[in-house]
Amino acid sequence: MERQNQIETFRSFEYLEVIFSNVTVTRIIIVYRPPQSKTNCVSNSLFFEEFPVLLEHLATASGKLIILGDFNFHVDDTNNASAMKFLDIVNCFNLAQHITVPTHKNGHTLDLIITRNDEDLISDIDVHDPSISDHFACFCSWNVCKPNTRRKLITYRKLRNIDHERFGRDLIDSPLFSSSASDLSVSELSDRYQSVLSSVLEAHAPLQRKMISARPSAPWYNNAIASQKTLRRKLEARWRRTKLDIDRQAYTNECVRVQNLIINSKMKFYSKLIN
């Protein structure tokens, strides 16, 4: 599950906080600090006042932390006072900056990936130039575990496979229709009814067991969506069989119909929940 947060608005940089809830919570903070220019006269000193405010909030926030983005500091240049001050702030909050190679065509490291020192959250960092910007692309692997799928055992019978004629004949030939049945009490007749029907049913549709994955519940799912999805599968099968444009168009229209049904159902459910 993912949601977006905004703590407050800062003048010296823009940011977006995205929270992913899986086995654990991970906060990803995407930051952009515009470089100083004729149109951007915000001083570095203001950034050094505002950025620690964000870090103070994150220091006490739950979950693991990844901060990334374009900070426009030459952190590769040890003689750059602003860059060194920025790294000092990062270090004071027990954070580590992981990009150690140039991320800009001019040979400087401006785009950063930052995590807490004691969290092994990223690996396999790779920086390369896709030739679509003056900045390079930074890639890394996010060390997060997929939650284990819960399994459960279900029992079922294939009732649709029953041959009705054979099933009827077996019932007629059963002890339910014997002459001795008239001599039984109501309780004995009830027991015979139960045992005979159970044995005949087991013969024609034996009870089967299967392990399935228990999917998360979807409280907005309803019968209308289920029936339209069944129709969609039929239209898809017809189109794949005939390859006709008219069948393809019918399948496409049904896909749009199902999608709109799901969207509207979700909107109604969550609107009602919020209200």
Question: What is the rounded CA–CA span in Å between residue 34 and residue 39?
Answer: 10
Do both 58 and 93 map to the same domain? yes
DSSP result, 64-97: EEEEEEE----TT-TT-HHHHHHHHHHHHTTEEE
Number of domains in the chain: 3
What pLDDT does residue 100 have?
93
3-state secondary structure (DSSP) of residue 2: strand
Cα–Cα distance measured from residue 30 to residue 12, given in angstroms and rounded to the nearest whole number: 14
Model pLDDT, residue 225: 94
Q: What percentage of residues in the chain have a pLDDT greater than 70? A: 92
9 lies in the same domain as 104: yes
User: What's the token pair of residue 253?
Assistant: 């229209």
CATH number, domain of 21, equals: 3.60.10.10
Q: Are residues 250 and 207 in the same domain?
A: no
Q: Are residues 68 and 15 in the same domain?
A: yes
Q: The domain containing residue 54 runs over which residues?
A: 2-142
My answer on whether 138 and 155 are in the same domain is no
| One domain, residues 14 and 128 | yes
Lowest-confidence segment of 29-33, 211-215, 251-255, 267-271 by average pLDDT: 211-215
CA distances from 148 to 4, 127, 151, 154, 214 (A): 25, 32, 9, 19, 11
If asked whether residues 255 and 173 sit together in one domain, one would say no
pLDDT digits (tens, 9 = 90+) for 170-227: 988 888 787 676 777 888 888 888 998 999 999 999 999 999 887 767 888 999 999 9
**Domain final residue pick, 211, 242, 258:** 211
Give the DSSP H/E element, type plus range, for residue 275.
none
Are 269 and 249 members of one domain?
Answer: yes
Does one domain contain both 80 and 138? Answer: yes
Cβ atoms of residues 95 and 115 within 8 Å? yes
If asked whether residues 35 and 131 sit together in one domain, one would say yes
Whether residue 217 is contained in a domain is answered as no
